[in-house]
Structure 1
Amino acid sequence: MSTNSILVIGAGELGTAVLEGLAKHPAFVSSSSRTTTTLSVMIRASSMDGTTADPAKQRHNAYLRDALGVSRFVPGDIGRDSVEDLAAAFRPFDTIICCAGFGDAFPAGTQLKISRAVLLAAAAAHSDGDDGNNITKRFLPWQWGMDYDAIGTGSAQDLFDEQLQVRALLRGERDGAVAANEQEVAALKKVDWVIVSTGLFMSFLFRADFGVVDLPDRTVRCLGAWDTEISVTTPRDIGVMAAEIALRPGAISNRVVYVAGDTASYGRVAELVEERLGVEFKRETWDRDKKLAEAPGDVMLKYRNCFAEGRGVAFDIAETVNKQRGIVLQDVRSYLKEMEI
């Protein structure tokens, strides 16, 4: 019987959703499976039982352990630990799914460091023979978002450039801002990576600081134009699809795939909001250049501007893994129906 030891990095909103997706997936719960799958999670040592005095963290750890079957808590700080330290932590695991490390909470270069650590762990496993186990590492990096290839370098959101550097590394590119060294190129033969583009988290459409749907002010704003489209997926559904891809990869290997609960124009979002509330909303077009000029260092404004461009932020539903596999995800209408407004 083969094994698949899975490590999820991070146990926040997305990490928990991915662990839930894995724990509930038929391939994990089926007793007839020929693969024994185990779940582990990497969190900071300060958040672990025996260290943390925070009751909320203790309850969350208990939920992960008792309800989801997490068998091991691995101490790690992806922002501070070295590539070598992370590689040593990753070394025992067959599948690594990164659900932390993007944005202001972590130093620039964190995602690149994690990716290099996965390659180093794969190289070490191959060198040591991995005790007779499968020595190929499966890696789902933090790319839960846009199609960064389509957006390209130099976008308003400079954090996106690092996502492109991760892709370049995993593709074994030897030039550009990030060059894979000889060891990393060799290790790529033992890493089966999948980048999952999911669009925007659904909840962002309704966040006041994001600015698209302002429920208290009864206003909907478009980023760019009313017919500009955007793809959105709930974290819960990202967890469902991450589990599907990790446990039933099929032909998905070393490439970018797409997942989306819905792809809709800003005009369609406005219609759905009005349908849900039964009242007319004011509609405004966001002047992205003016806003960014007023606050050039505003991370949310830079993030929002990328959506206004309409490039790499909307996926054809027919091309998504969920559509191709007949998995129904939550769309904007059903999300609004569940919202407490």
Structure 2
Amino acid sequence: MAERNVNKGEKVLVLGAGQLGTAVLDFLIPAVTRRNGSVSVIVSPGSLDQQSNLLSDDHQRLADSGATFMAVDVAASTIESLKPHFAGFDTVINCMGFIAGAGTQIKITRAVLEAGVRRYFPWQFGVNYDVVGKGSGQTVWDEQYDVRTLLRAQRATEWVIVSTGMFTSFLFEPAFDVVNLANKTLHALGSWETQVTVTSPADIGRLTTAIYLQQPRIVNEVVFVAGETTSYGKLAETVERVTKQTFAKSVFTLPALQEELRLQPDDPMLRYRVAFARGEGVWWPMSETWNARHNLPTQDIASWLKTAI
């Protein structure tokens, strides 16, 4: 099939236009438009002013490039009220993340299935929840496992899960406290040998669009992508080499993190540290990724860091 006919004339709905949604839309809008399709985007009501104008320059840029924006309070919506918003779309790509609160991903997934959407990319742009399972220390990951179970229990809607590992930028989030560029500190999670897979949002957007377009189409499959898979020891070497600075380095051991979490069970960053310190399901070899098999280069940590400092 000629590429120009791939997914021709599809109506695509993207949920959310934050960091990841914007990155996906940057690649998806021109690809779908070239194939005579359309792209709609659901954002929160707070994204528009009283005259229904988009407040974000990024959102306006995406609208100018052809996307249609709709305001829906997904967090406050029921399955029944979401279904009409999803009905009639060929593909729904969920970039809404955890910001809408616990239970939202299950609710969205049920609404997508009940609305009869043909193909669904759930918000699974993270770790391998099949390996992580339940009880990782991060409660929102338990819900992600349940989303997979729900999708696999049905046959009417095709699904594609894009596993990306951690967003590259999250390694450098001061509140996460793995790499703190301002304080020149670096903490390994678990041990210096523990591994982690990361991908930049821009690469996730580009690769998700390519996965959406692939022929023959990917059906009911978990697709692994990566910008880089590294150990915390190699991460420390990379950070010091690129910044040309020496960092104070120490390890957040799993037992110590678990004890901290016992004392502060509602701390979201502690939950993430515990989950990643386990080292299970949070990394995969670069050689086995979809992008490596298709010879698609991605941004590694060093090149990402060079643009950030």
TM-score, normalized by length of structure 1? 0.83
Question: Are 1:198 and 2:198 an aligned pair?
Answer: no
CA contact (8 A) 1:87 1:120 kept: yes
Counterpart for residue 99 of structure 1: 95
Aligned to 1:163, which of 138, 144, 169? Answer: 144
Q: Does 1:145 align with 2:101?
A: no
What residue is the counterpart of 1:330 in the other structure? Answer: 299
Q: What code does the residue aligned with 2:61 have?
A: Y
Identity between Structure 1 and Structure 2 (%): 42
Q: Is 1:292 the counterpart of 2:261 in the alignment? A: yes
Amino acid in structure 1 at the alignment position of 2:220: N
1:36 match: secondary structure: coil
- Any idea what the Cα deviations from partners look like across 1:271-291, whole Å, max 9, x if unmatched? 011101222222101132343
CA 24–234 in structure 1, closer or farther in 2 if over 3 Å, else same? farther
Alignment match, 2:200: 234
The 3 A distance-change label for structure 1 pair 61 and 221 is closer
Q: Structure 1 residues 317 and 58, CA, compared in 2 at 3 Å: closer, same or farther?
A: closer
Q: Who is 2:47 aligned against? A: 47
Q: 1:317 to 1:165 in 2, by over 3 A?
A: same
Larger radius of gyration: 1
Q: Show CA shifts across 1:233-259 (max 9, x none).
A: 111111111111112253521021111
Match of 2:285 in 1: 316
Structure 1, unmatched stretches of 5+, are 123-135, 173-184
**Counterpart for residue 105 of structure 2:** 111
Letter matched to residue 47 of structure 1? S
The amino acid that maps onto 2:20 is L
Give the Cα–Cα distance (whole angstroms) in 1 for the partners of residues 59 and 306 of structure 2: 31
Q: Which amino acid aligns with 1:82?
A: T
Task: Give the match for residue 89 of structure 1.
Answer: 85
Which residue is equivalent to 2:69? Answer: 73
TM-score (norm. length: structure 2) = 0.91
Q: Deviations over 1:276-315 (max 9, x none)?
A: 1222222101132343234222011011111000000001
**Per the alignment, in what secondary structure is the counterpart of residue 42 of structure 1?**
strand
**CA RMSD between the two structures:** 1.9
Between the aligned partners of 2:185 and 2:123, the Cα distance in structure 1 is: 32
Aligned residues: 300
1:59 to 57, 60, 64: 57
Rounded to whole Å, the distance in 2 between the matches of 1:110 and 1:291 is 27
Query: Is contact 2:212–2:218 with CA below 8 Å preserved after alignment?
Result: no
Amino acid of the structure 1 residue aligned with 2:185: T
Counterparts of 2:136 and 2:91, CA distance in 1: 31
Query: Of residues 271, 279, 289 in structure 1, which corresponds to 2:237?
Result: 271
Matched, 1:225 2:191: yes
